[in-house]
């Protein structure tokens, strides 16, 4: 481990010194502890059980090199729970969150390769998932084109779970990851403040115990957005179709046929510089209880954001097989230049009938209220706190298999401190 850190410091030293002559180097860090009180977080909690109080911490050290033809970035990450390591342990939990380079062939064309987060549009299909203690990143090659008419990104990945000298028969299951990935993203500004994006995603999932067979899941999407400083209105529309196979449902040695869809609409209005309001709906298709065997109509959210959608209590990060409808609305208030607050309410429904013990139940899944407070006294320091409550319906406890169980009032609260100092920046 000492040798590992020595090599890391050597790399940083070389980057810093090379910047004197050729480029700009920036080194920064992130320290982000977050303490959470969980009494019915992610699902209702039986009243015979006690709520949890847990502190998570994410620490990152980032180094970035930038010249006219090359950009590189390395991000080391330690994600832990306070107390999960022995006080005297020497075991390292450091992982590589980012390790990529982007070579710029021309001012409008480049290739970006290595471990990197992906984030597009409203981050429903690809997201860095910043809330997560670990975040999301992919080992992928991305071709990028930026022109006056159109922006185009295309990504390619092919995964192996271990080092081999040839293609051998080992399992690379969907629980690990996709075996292969390809996506194409096109974006165009239609007029000032308005843009449209198209996204096509291919994922290949290996057949269990048969490395020669890849089953595809295909996602086709469109995203429309409008936001302009001259208007008090902002809005967006998303719509996706999914075809191919559902790797979450095994059928006759393969996977179930998939035909699913999703759409969402969001509209915001800014009354004045202090107050704004938002309403919206997310609609995820689901599978009926009497659907033919080997078929699936349950939408999958791929590698998009989880926590920022469908309520902060994360009841539906894994979408119900029956699908989900989320109606929401809220208001945001800027209390001062450094303090803001936001309150959002949600109503949840199954998209298809939910059958419990052979009987159809009401589609109403209950509701949630999320309150968030933000305080940012400086550029490098921010403090965020939140409190959420989930209100069960009759179907909520049945869905989570707690029908005959008395539960606590569902509550979740957190305080998160983020410190992001810039440790070094060279003069270009």
Compute the distance between CA of residue 123 and CA of residue 93 in angstroms, rounded to an integer.
28
Compute the distance between CA of residue 332 and CA of residue 276 in angstroms, rounded to an integer.
5
Compute the distance between CA of residue 75 and CA of residue 116 in angstroms, rounded to an integer.
9
Q: What is the mean pLDDT of residues 392-398?
A: 94
Compute the distance between CA of residue 120 and CA of residue 410 in angstroms, rounded to an integer.
33
* Diameter over CA atoms, the chain: 73
Residues linked to residue 64 through DSSP beta bridges, in sequence order: 26, 73
Which 3 state secondary structure label does DSSP give 322?
A: coil
Strands, DSSP E only, in 252-322? 254-270, 275-284, 295-296
pLDDT tens-digit series, residues 273-319: 999 999 999 999 999 999 999 999 999 999 999 899 999 999 999 99
Q: What is the domain count for the chain? A: 1
Per the structure block, which two tokens stand in for 43?
A: 């699902």
Strands, DSSP E only, in 317-376? 324-334, 339-349, 354-356, 359-361, 364-375
pLDDT, residue 153, reads 99
Q: What is the mean pLDDT of residues 129-156?
A: 96
State CA 257 to chain mean position distance. 25
Per the structure block, which two tokens stand in for 376?
A: 């940012």
Whole-prediction pTM: 0.91
Question: Given a cut of 80, is residue 89 above it in pLDDT?
Answer: no
Which residue segment(s) compose the domain that 269 sits in? 2-425
pLDDT band at 162 (very low <50, low <70, confident <90, very high): confident
In which region does residue 312 sit, left (phi positive, over 0), alpha (psi from -120 to 50) or beta (all else)? Answer: alpha
pLDDT, residue 325, reads 98
Question: Given a cut of 80, is residue 142 above it in pLDDT?
Answer: yes
Per the structure block, which two tokens stand in for 412?
A: 């979740």
Q: What is the mean pLDDT of residues 235-255?
A: 94
The closest of 221, 346, 255, 242 to 298, measured between CA atoms, is 242
Compute the distance between CA of residue 262 and CA of residue 69 in angstroms, rounded to an integer.
40
The closest of 88, 61, 55, 70 to 23, measured between CA atoms, is 70
Question: Given a cut of 80, is residue 92 above it in pLDDT?
Answer: no
State CA 39 to chain mean position distance. 24
CATH of the domain at 275: 2.40.160.100
Give the rounded percent of residues in the chain with a pLDDT score beyond 70.
91
């Amino acid at each position: 481990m000492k040798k590992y850190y020595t090599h890391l410091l050597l790399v940083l030293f070389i980057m810093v010194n090379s910047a004197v002559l050729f480029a700009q180097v920036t080194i920064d860090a992130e320290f982000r502890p977050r303490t959470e009180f969980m009494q019915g977080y992610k699902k209702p909690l039986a009243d015979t059980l006690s709520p949890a109080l847990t502190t998570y911490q994410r620490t990152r050290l980032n180094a970035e090199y930038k010249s006219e033809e090359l950009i590189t970035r390395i991000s080391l990450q330690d994600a832990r729970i306070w107390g999960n390591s022995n006080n005297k342990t020497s075991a390292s939990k450091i992982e590589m969150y980012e390790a990529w380079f982007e070579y710029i062939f021309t001012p409008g064309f480049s290739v970006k390769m290595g471990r990197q987060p992906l984030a597009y549009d409203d981050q429903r299909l690809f997201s860095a998932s910043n809330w997560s203690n670990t975040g999301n990143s992919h080992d992928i090659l991305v071709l990028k084109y930026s022109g006056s008419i159109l922006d185009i990104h295309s990504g390619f990945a092919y995964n192996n779970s271990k080092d081999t000298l040839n293609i051998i028969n080992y399992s690379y299951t969907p629980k690990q990851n996709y075996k292969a990935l390809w996506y194409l993203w096109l974006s165009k500004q239609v007029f000032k403040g308005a843009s449209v994006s198209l996204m096509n995603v291919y994922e290949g999932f290996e057949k269990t115990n048969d490395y020669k067979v890849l089953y595809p899941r295909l996602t086709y999407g469109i995203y429309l957005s409008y936001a302009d400083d001259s208007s008090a209105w902002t809005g967006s529309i998303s719509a996706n179709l999914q075809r191919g196979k559902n790797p979450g449902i095994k059928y006759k040695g393969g996977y179930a046929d998939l035909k699913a869809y999703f759409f969402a609409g969001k509209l915001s209005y800014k009354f004045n510089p202090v107050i704004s309001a938002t309403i919206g709906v997310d609609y995820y298709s689901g599978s009926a209880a009497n659907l033919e065997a080997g078929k699936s109509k349950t939408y999958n959210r791929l590698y998009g954001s989880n926590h920022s959608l469908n309520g902060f209590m994360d009841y539906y990060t894994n979408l119900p097989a029956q699908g989900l409808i989320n109606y929401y609305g809220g208001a945001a208030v800027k209390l001062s230049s450094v303090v803001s607050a936001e309150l959002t309410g949600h109503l949840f429904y199954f998209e298809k009938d939910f059958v419990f013990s052979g009987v159809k139940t009401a589609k109403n899944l209950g509701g949630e209220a999320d309150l968030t407070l933000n305080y940012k006294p400086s550029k490098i320091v921010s403090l965020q706190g939140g409190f959420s409550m989930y209100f069960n319906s009759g179907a909520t406890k049945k869905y989570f298999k707690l029908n005959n169980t008395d539960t606590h009032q569902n509550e979740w609260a957190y305080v998160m401190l983020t410190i992001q100092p810039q440790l070094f920046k060279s003069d270009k």
